[in-house]
Structure 1
């Protein structure tokens, strides 16, 4: 694969947009001939990051970007709203956490398990955050 492939899209910050984000990622990565395992991981990562942006901020829309350079896929999800603080890993269902049954709080843990690298940076205008994850792939066979 030569050069850099890039796509960006923006969706309303509502729960129904999560599935649309997954569909857009699948469509674009299929078009770029990215292998099925990477496509599956990318859909899960975008789903977790988009869900966090909807659930934990007061953003009205969420910006997503996909970029392939060499054998790395970078996914970025940016919210534009305020939230309870910087996104961070936490143990699901720990004592004092909002969900004592452990049914939430795993999003960034899943992202960290699937990604070679991931991180958070503040929004350019001082509001919101961009959470990014990079997935590696060795071959591009579907």
Structure 2
């Protein structure tokens, strides 16, 4: 399996404001990040990794289930709608929320994700509707190099981890 995995507790410049910048320092939160090849078999691996991490952090089962679903949907979209060779996944416990960020490498025609009209009744295309229903907020931004995109979602956290 080709992947890069690491854990860290530092905020990157792109997400520092959402991680709670206080005065001259950034508060530290439990975080993890990894990259997987951009292929359909990686979606299940991403779900497993995120679920195991949240179990370590003491997240309730419902939180783990919701986060797994959101990771599945956004990771799948990154594979289907970009020319990425790898997809990044970052998870952070920020106060009363789990922040998920999925990063792709973009490609020709890659655009910002949006909920498709009438997607609730369709078998395909309702992923972002589900992301919106499960999260307190979600959105996207270009990556630092402008070629790819980061799709993020904040889900409510309940569990025993210290914040």
Q: TM-score, normalised by structure 1?
A: 0.87
State the distance in 2 between where 1:129 and 1:93 align.
22
State the distance in 2 between where 1:73 and 1:87 align.
20
What residue number does 2:112 align with? 86
State the distance in 2 between where 1:30 and 1:8 align.
16
Counterparts of 1:3-82 in structure 2, within 5 Å, are 3-82=28-107
Q: What is the CA distance between 1:89 and its match in structure 2?
A: 1.1
CA spacing shift, 1:125–1:3, aligned 2, 3 Å: closer
Preserved CA contact (<8 Å) 1:60 1:81: no
* Count of residues in Structure 1 that have an aligned counterpart in Structure 2: 134
CA spacing shift, 1:93–1:65, aligned 2, 3 Å: closer
- Superposed CA deviations along residues 11-50 of structure 1, whole A, max 9, x for unmatched, are 0000000000000000000011011110000000000000
State the distance in 2 between where 1:14 and 1:91 align.
27
CA spacing shift, 1:59–1:140, aligned 2, 3 Å: same
State the distance in 1 between where 2:144 and 2:96 align.
28
* Partner SS, residue 120 of structure 1: strand
What residue number does 2:123 align with? 103
- Flag the structure with more relative contact order, 1 or 2, with Cα contacts below 8 A and sequence separation at least 6: 1
Match of 1:125 among 145, 151, 156: 145
Q: What is the CA distance between 1:128 and its match in structure 2?
A: 1.4
List runs of 5+ in structure 1 lacking aligned partners: 95-100
Q: CA RMSD in A?
A: 2.0
Match of 1:113 among 110, 128, 133: 133
Preserved CA contact (<8 Å) 1:3 1:70: no
**Structure 1: 4+ residue segments shifted above 4 A:** none
CA spacing shift, 1:92–1:54, aligned 2, 3 Å: farther
